Structure 1
Amino acid sequence: MTSHTSDGTVAWPADLAAEFRRKGYWEDRTLGSYIHETADRLPEKIALVDGDVRITYSELASRMDAAAERLLQLGLKADDRMMVQLPNGWQFTVLTLACFRAGIVPVMALPAHRKYELSFLTDLSESRAIAVPDVIKDFDHQALAEELAASVPSLDMVLVSGAANPLNARLEEILAPGADPAGARTRLDASAPSPDAPALFLLSGGTTGLPKLITRTHNDYAYNIKATSVPTNVTEDTVYLGTLPASHNFPLACPGILGILFAGGRVVMLPGPEPRKAFAAIEREGVTLSAAVPAVAQRWIEHQEETGGNQLASLEVIQVGGSRLPDEIARKVKPVLGSTLQQVFGMAEGLINVTRLDDPEDVICTTQGRPVSEADEVRIVDEAGNDLPDGVPGSILTRGPYTPRGYYRAPEANARAFTPDGWYASGDIVERRPDGNLIVQGRDKDMINRGGEKISAEEIESLVYRIEDVTMAAAIAMPDEVLGEKLCLYITVKPGAEVTLEQIQTLLHETGVAAFKIPEHLVVVDELPATKVGKINKKELRADIAERLASASAHSK
């Protein structure tokens, strides 16, 4: 009998699943079992640090199991979904592990998401619960969660970290250690989910509107974690600083928080990557490994160049991914930060590529690495689907034991992104070198990559058309030295009408769109260029904005 979540999930073919088991990629264990294994081995070792909170492995296991049982006592059941919209902190980690133990499927929302995204995701996943902070940066997440609970039929439970209103559950009480750890462990082991069951939902970058849900099973995600831990050299001596939003696949499991906990290392959590706080935490905790997007890596380099000092002495490796790291910044990492750069190119849909720590400096600084698993299959193809030789850029196709075969309840998206024989097309244009390392050249789809956060042009355009005076709209990526890309909007308007950037920004704020999706530049033109088949020629628009920016820069000098 399949679970409700499994009904909307595309399964691996049975013969492939059997092969993955036979070759040891899938170990038929649940994610929570790895935490217990570590806790049995290193009970008194510190597992998790969040400010003044320091949690040992035995306490982590106790909190995880106690919370799992409390969630079930609240009325949640195995296979129910829960929206998790928490900032980086011990609460995020313990709640996620508790869901794994109870068989509840967390939906990994971002703290930046607002009503527009959350209502869609909650409805699509039919989530029964949502976990939120009370207030962050003057935004009342609890009030929004209550609003969602009143409007989404499936949602009947609000869990709040911090000051919870009387009708909501206080998350810190749910996550407290248990009085009977051994009993809780025995009971949860007896009712553990199937290793093939959905463990969590990650969110896609989404090129055609709102994010899609990516089902990751216990088996495939455990392998994702273990396969990425090897080339990053994760051991029980690893001290990991998590500053990127933990609900992203990269800081969660590549190897990220879960990889370090599987190995018995220590996870240090910070709400953000601001250099002064991050550097202080690195020095205080003896951090050896961290992860960053290119904009963060650049800020850290600039801060170190400005301030100097020896705060980063313990930092051995910094992973950089989320978007392409410019070669000139890559070359500064080792001399300025003193740590080995590991470039990471991957996707929440599966395939992860990394440079190896012992690669030549040229490979580390100019490529985005190669697959972490021998079982990862990669093809580079032209527009007709023909395989291309090394050195020729093309679209990447991939499949393997941790690359799912389709999105959740998204047949149209699956028909676009997956071939009938299971190859996933991410939309990335890459070039493969003869040594197997990949160089990311860009995207073949309508996507803006703002410092690692993916923005669908189509989604923003559809919202802008709500302004009556806008006759045509085209959202494109414009180059930015810090973030890589920012969102630029080209529009045409009705004769005599005037539409301002502020007007568009206000509309999107009122719609409840995440702040990182708000356009930062507006160009009003008489006519948008078109291709021969009548589509808006965005290639021409990208060239136009690059020229405008270059001209403005030249005039400002």
Structure 2
Amino acid sequence: MLEGSTPWPAEVARRYRTAGLWRGETLGALLRTVAAEHGESTALVHGDRRISYLELDGRADRMAAGFTRYGITSGDRVVVQLPNVPEFVAVCFALFRLGAIPVFALTAHRSQEIGHLCRITGAVAYVLPGVHRGFDHRVLARQVRSGAPTLRVLFSLSGQGGDVIDLSAVDAEPREFAEPDPSDAAFFLLSGGTTALPKVIPRTHDDYTCQVRAASSVLGMSTSDVYLAVLPLEFNFTWGCPGVIGTLVSGGTVVLADAPTADDCFAMIVREQVTVTSLVPSIAQLWLEAAEWSDADLSSLRVVQIGGAKLQRSVAERITPVLGCELQQVFGMAEGLLTLTRLGDPTDVVLGTQGRPLSEEDEIRIVGPDDRDVAAGEVGELLTRGPYTLRGYYRATEHNAIAFTEDGYYRSGDLVRLTADGDLVVEGRIKDVVIRGGDKISAAEVEGHLLGYPGVLRAAVIGVPDDFLGERTCAYLVVTGEHPSLHDLKGALRDRGLADYKLPDRVEFVDELPVTPLGKVDKKALVLLADQGRPTVAKQKG
């Protein structure tokens, strides 16, 4: 077990193995098995590139051997920050084969997040895109390396020579590597950001193969399925619910989208006869609007999964009539638990709930503030444990003492209830997070950066309802002197290394922030104030 990780109790692990949920297989071996079975079938499509199972398997082998030339060995952590390209998949499977551990990072992450990930995981290498959407990640990488003592090697999709190695050079004759322990960490996902910087989630070979096989079964995935990866591959939703890994396990084809725009994705659906995809509500709305005037034939689609944020019923009701496919609502977390509506569920279940847990071994409790179970149908906090839900964040002993119960339940921070038929309905959340278009933004993190701006005395960040994104971020500021413009604030936060999706959408200035009787900022009062749009408050919207 990797130092800093929390194992499942031995008797629980035995139960999962006896039940056949944990099969003792590694992700690297999984690709080997499906490549032997599906050979020349197409595994990945990206633009004009078509990569067979055998080609992907061979590239993973050569890249695994190539990484060792740069000193990367079993157990090493490697930050992987790549867009939706075949290299992402090849790099991850190469590292799985080698026994090294990918640390997933979004392409939107900047120095704050990447530096944090390198330091907390002790990463020895960083795989980056080069220049992506106008941003030079090679400059960022050198900046991060200066403050991360373990970081030695930089790899890029477009190497610059010298200290940045082109990924195409990571190549050597294949060699045998010892199989990693299936119960050990295979890769690291990131928490949604309920604290200033994301916590690191170790996903093991055992638990993730359990998840993807179960999710593939629920969705009825087969060799005839073509999965369109619209959302970033670094998302658990895209990577394994069933996503990329589940499609490969099933012998299907994964099509990688560079952007979620309807024009591009509709063209790919038609060309590749896509059958399944996963969206967040904001993208689903864009697709629905585009489909009203598009003449693209989307009849190959059989299922669209929607998750990541609250799906309004009015939007859910349009999916099947407009896109001509089944809707599957998904509620999940990188930490583990997935609940899904099932194909063929009654209409009210599909439109109004987030379905049932993925596995029969998923355990959930719904509790009140006293940690006692609430009555049936009442709203409370969701606690969960199971065969693919973590038992502790990586190197986070103090936080784990708060985030988990003594008997191993994960405190999700989500407010939920169960219907009479046992379907989950998500009602809200306890945590101080804004969910903007599926991206989770820590209010505390943004507030901390705002307080670094000259003249800002106090800051409070809240989410305000938005028909398109679900929520937008609104920053309330108490300042001295002239009010800064929203443009200047965003520029300053970018300069501090904050990702673009975390920048405030709106800023309002007040003389004082409202407080609760306990002296804490009263964010409920701020939400009401934002809704009222009082004319006495200076507003700047972006």
Give the TM-score of the pair, scaled to structure 2. 0.97
**More displaced stretch, 51-60 vs 284-293:** 51-60
How do 1:10-159 and structure 2 match up within 5 A?
10-159=6-155
Q: Secondary structure at the match of 1:230?
A: helix
Aligned to 2:365: 379
Q: Which amino acid aligns with 1:82?
A: V
- Residue by residue over 1:497-528, the C-alpha shift from the partner in whole angstroms, topping out at 9 and shown as x without a partner, is 43332332122111011000000101101121
Q: Report the CA distance between 1:462 and its aligned residue.
A: 1.1
* 2:467 corresponds to 1:467: no
Separation in 2 of the partners of 1:66 and 1:486? 45
Aligned to 2:488: 503
Q: Secondary structure at the match of 2:13?
A: helix
The structure-2 alpha-carbon separation of the partners of 1:168 and 1:497, relative to structure 1 and needing over 3 Å to count, comes to: closer
Q: Which amino acid aligns with 1:343?
A: Q
Aligned to 2:186: 199
Within the candidate set 326, 331, 355, 2:341 is matched to: 355
Within the candidate set 293, 299, 305, 1:313 is matched to: 299
Q: Secondary structure at the match of 1:282?
A: helix
* 2:318 corresponds to 1:322: no
Aligned to 1:555: none
The structure-2 alpha-carbon separation of the partners of 1:141 and 1:391, relative to structure 1 and needing over 3 Å to count, comes to: same
Q: Secondary structure at the match of 2:337?
A: strand
Q: Report the CA distance between 1:542 and its aligned residue.
A: 1.1
Within the candidate set 516, 524, 533, 1:531 is matched to: 516
Aligned to 2:286: 299
Q: Secondary structure at the match of 2:383?
A: strand
Separation in 1 of the partners of 2:189 and 2:413? 18
Separation in 2 of the partners of 1:357 and 1:125? 39
The structure-2 alpha-carbon separation of the partners of 1:549 and 1:74, relative to structure 1 and needing over 3 Å to count, comes to: farther
Aligned to 2:261: 274
Within the candidate set 219, 234, 253, 1:247 is matched to: 234
Separation in 1 of the partners of 2:66 and 2:216? 32
Q: Which amino acid aligns with 1:377?
A: E
- Aligned-residue Cα RMSD (Å) equals 1.6
**More displaced stretch, 334-343 vs 33-42:** 33-42
> Does structure 2 retain, via aligned residues, the 8 Å contact 1:91–1:172?
no
* 2:479 corresponds to 1:522: no
Q: Which amino acid aligns with 1:262?
A: V
Aligned to 2:540: none
Q: Secondary structure at the match of 2:304?
A: strand
> Does structure 2 retain, via aligned residues, the 8 Å contact 1:470–1:499?
no
Separation in 1 of the partners of 2:173 and 2:490? 51
> Does structure 1 retain, via aligned residues, the 8 Å contact 2:159–2:167?
no
**More displaced stretch, 534-543 vs 250-259:** 534-543
The structure-2 alpha-carbon separation of the partners of 1:549 and 1:77, relative to structure 1 and needing over 3 Å to count, comes to: farther
Separation in 2 of the partners of 1:385 and 1:179? 56
Q: Report the CA distance between 1:290 and its aligned residue.
A: 0.3
Give the TM-score of the pair, scaled to structure 1. 0.94
Q: Secondary structure at the match of 1:151?
A: coil
> Does structure 1 retain, via aligned residues, the 8 Å contact 2:153–2:163?
no
Q: Which amino acid aligns with 2:117?
A: L
Q: Secondary structure at the match of 2:518?
A: coil
- Any unmatched runs of 5+ in structure 2? 538-542
The structure-2 alpha-carbon separation of the partners of 1:372 and 1:143, relative to structure 1 and needing over 3 Å to count, comes to: same
Aligned to 1:426: 412
Q: Secondary structure at the match of 1:491?
A: strand
Q: Report the CA distance between 1:551 and its aligned residue.
A: 13
Q: Report the CA distance between 1:151 and its aligned residue.
A: 2.7
Q: Which amino acid aligns with 2:16?
A: F
Aligned to 1:458: 444
